[in-house]
Chain A
Amino acid sequence: MSKDPFKTRLEIAKKKVSKRNLENKKHNPSSIGTAFKLSTELVSAVAVGTIIGFILDKTFGTKPWLILIFFFVGVIAGITNVIKSAKNMQK
C-alpha cells in the first residue's frame, strides 16, 4: 500500500473521532460519578460526627451531651457536603 491513501484515510478518521468527542461531551460518565458521590456524602459525615462525639464523651465523661451535639453538627456537615458537591457539579 502506498503512503498517501493511508494518510488521507487517517485524516478522515481523525476528523470523525474529534466530531464524536464533541458530541459525547454533553453526557460523560463523570456526571454519574458525582451523582453516586452525593448519596454517601450525607451519611458518612453524620457517622463521623457521631463517632467523634462518642469518643469525646468517653474521654470527658459527659455521657449524653457531646454525642448529641456532634450528631447534629455532623448532619450540618453532611448537608454542606452535598451542597458543595452539587455546586461543583454545576460548574
Chain B
Amino acid sequence: MDEQIRKFVYRIRGRLREQQVVSNLVNWSACGLLAADVISLASLVVPFYYAVFSAAVIVALLFAAGAVIGICKTPKPMQAALQADAKGYKEKISTAYFLIGREDAFSRLQKKDALQVMEGFAVRKEFPVRLPGKRLALLAVLALVFALTIQVDTPARKEARTKHRVGQEAKEDIARLEKVEKQIAEHKDISSKEAEMLKEQLKQAGEEIKEADTLAELKKAEERIAKKLEMAAGRMENETLSEIAQQGAKEAEDAAAGREEELAKAAKEAMEQAENGSKKDKEKACESLEALADQTENEALEDAAASYRDSDYAQNEYKNAQKKLENALNGDGVQPGDKQEYAQGGNEQQGEQNPSGNPGEGNGGANGQGGSGNGSGEQGQSTGSGWNKGSKEGGEGPGRTDESITVPEGEVGSDDNLTGKANSSGNRETGKTNQSSAWSGSKVNYGKVSGAYKEKAYKKVEGSNYPVKLKDRIKNYFDGLN
C-alpha cells in the first residue's frame, strides 16, 4: 500500500516537474528575448557591434537557466501530494503519504481510502503539461520584434560595423608592428640607440593606428607608418635593423594597398549590382556604396551612391553615377577640373637644409597618393613643395635628429650688441653682451625639439575644427620634420 502511494505521488511530482520546466523555459526565454530586444533597440542608436551575438548568448543562457531552475524547483513529494489534493480530494493523498510506515487502524483505513481515490485519479488529465499560450504569444512577439529590429540599418549600426572592422584591421596592424619590435629585440647586434629610435617610431605608429576610427584613417596611418619605416630604414646604419624597418614598411604598404584594392572591389561589385540587379538589389547596392563611402570617407563614392539613389534607377542616370564611381575607383580622388590637391614634395624628395635650419633647396619627386588612387605630381622646386594632381602625401626630408639648433629665449636683441664694423681708420670695437638672444639661447639636439613641436602641433590640430583633410596634411608635415 505504501509503495503504491509513493509511486503515485512521484508520478504526480514528475508531471509537475515537466510543467515547471516548460513554464520556466517559456518564462526565461521571454526574459531573454526581452533583454535581446532591449539590446537590439539600443544598438539602433548606440554603436554596438556584438548586439546580435550578445542577445543570442543571453537568450541561450536564460533558456538553459530556465531548464535548470525548472528542474531544481520541482515540488517535494508532499507538495506534489497536496497539489493533487487540491483537485478536490480533501487532503486524502497528502495524509496517505504522511502516514506511510504507520500501520494503526486509522492509518490503514485512511491509506485504503486514499488508494481508492488514486485509482480513479487521471494523472495526465488532472496534471496536463500545457504550453502557456499567452506567454508563447508574447515570446513570438518578442522574437518578431528582435528579428525586425535587427534588420534595421541605422547610422549607429554602420558605425559599429565600421569600428569593428577598423578594430580588427588595427589589431592586425598592431600585430605586424609587434612582430617588427620582436625582430628588433631578437637581434643583439643592433645598437640600443637605433633600436630605441625605431621602437619609438613603432610606438607612435601603434598609437596612431589605435586612434583610427575609419578605414580611411587607418589607411592613412598605415601609409604614414610605411613611409616612416622606410625613411627610418634609410637612416639606419645597422643593416639588419634597416632590413627589419624596410620589411615592416613593406608590410604596412601592402596592407594599405590591400585595403584599397578590397574597397575598390567592393565598390565595383556594388556598382554592378546596382546596374544589373533587381530594384531590391539596387537599393542594397546603394546602401553598400554608402557604407563604403562612410568607411573610406570618400566623397566621390558618397556622390555616386547619392546619384544612384536620386536617379530613381532611370537608365540614363546610371551613367552619371557610374562615371562618378569609376572616377572614385580610378583613384583620382577628384574629378578633373573639380579640385586640386596640394601636396608637399613627393615620396622621394631629397630636401637639404643648411646649418641654420632653413629649408633646403631640392627637387621633389612627387609620387604622392591622393584620394584613393595614385597620381603623379610635378617636380617641385626650392622647398620641395609643388602643385600636383592627387598627391596629398608629401615626402619628408632626411632626418636631422643629430643636428644642433639654437633655441632662443625669445628676447629681442639690441643693435648695440652687433659686431661693429671697422671705421675709416680701420678700428673697430667689439663687445660681448648677454642681452642678445643669440647668446642667451642654448643649443639643443634638433630631434628633441622637433618631437616637442610635433606633439604641440598634434594637440592643437586635434583641438581645432579644421577639416579632416587639412588636419591630415598638418600631421603629415610634422611627421616629415623627424
B and A form one assembly: no
